[in-house]
Amino acid sequence: MPIIYLSPSTQENNLYVSGGSEEYWMNRLADAMVPYLDASGIRYTRNTPDMTAASSITASNRGSYDLHLALHSNAAPEGRYGQVRGILVFYYPGSAKGRRAAEIMAENLKRIYPIPALVRAEATTSIGEVRKVRAPAVFLELGYHDNPDDAAWVKNQLELIAQNLVSSLCQYFGIPFLTPVPERQGVVDVSWGSLNIRSRPDRTAPILARAYDGARLKIINQWQGWYLVRFGSVTGYASGDYITLL
């Protein structure tokens, strides 16, 4: 299953026109994303508010991530304070994967942002969190926090934005977007061999682990005839035909 580095802003001095900071609201957005990441089987490592962009880049580069996702909001240039709106989704021009992820996110954000024409994906070489990270990277500027309408949109639509972003991640990784449900317990029930746990709900997907008859599993979610399960340290999909719920 995929793993991302989730990097909400650490810019505590970038203030929202209606209260709070970029750091605060982007961390609130990351908090809202977490249940949907867990429900969909996307693993993540997350920075902390006491870090900086530089230390977030260093931490990301120490790991092996399928995507680096930075959450930010924007500010208008001097002389245009409060007058600019829109969403920018940045990627590094030499990264085909980063560009694909950014374009998916931009297209999906158009569905929920009040002015879809002001949402665009754009290449950049000036932002460290796309230029300096090893993983494919997307750097989101989710509206302008000095604009009252954009600030209100972020604050009032955190849940919707979180769902939209995780849905985009699922689309990028080729896995179902699932909403949170209570975890259940199950046991493998096969009369031969073992039960394959796969990276996607597809019988041709790579096998991550094998669970033998009688093995206990945590069932995180369900999609069609498949269960999203946790088996030891592995999270993946297993056919529901060979799992008995406890």
Looking at residue 47, its pLDDT comes to: 98
Q: Which of 66, 67, 35 is nearest to 220 (CA)?
A: 35
Task: Provide the 10 A C-beta neighbour count for residue 158.
Answer: 17
* pLDDT per residue as tens digits for the range 199-216: 999 999 999 999 999 999
Q: What is the pLDDT of residue 164?
A: 98
**Domains within the chain, CATH numbers bracketed:** 3-173 (3.40.630.40), 184-245 (2.30.30.40)
pLDDT attached to residue 193: 87
29/52 Cα distance (integer angstroms): 18
Could you please report the per-residue DSSP string of 36-57? HHHHHT-EEEE--TT--HHHHH
Cβ pair 31, 173 in contact under 8 A: no
Which H or E run contains 92? none
Question: Residue 126, SS3?
Answer: coil
pLDDT lower than 50: segments of the chain: none
pLDDT at 89: 98
pLDDT, position 91: 98
| pLDDT of res. 192 | 86
Reduced to 3 states (helix: H, G, I; strand: E, B; else coil), residue 129 is: helix
Confidence (pTM): 0.95
Rounded Cα gap, residues 98 and 2, in angstroms:
15
Cα–Cα dist 149/68, whole Å: 28
Tokens 């599993």 found at = 217
**Hey, how many other C-beta atoms are within 10 angstroms of the C-beta on 79?**
6
Per-residue pLDDT at 79: 87
Cα Rg, the chain, nearest whole Å: 20
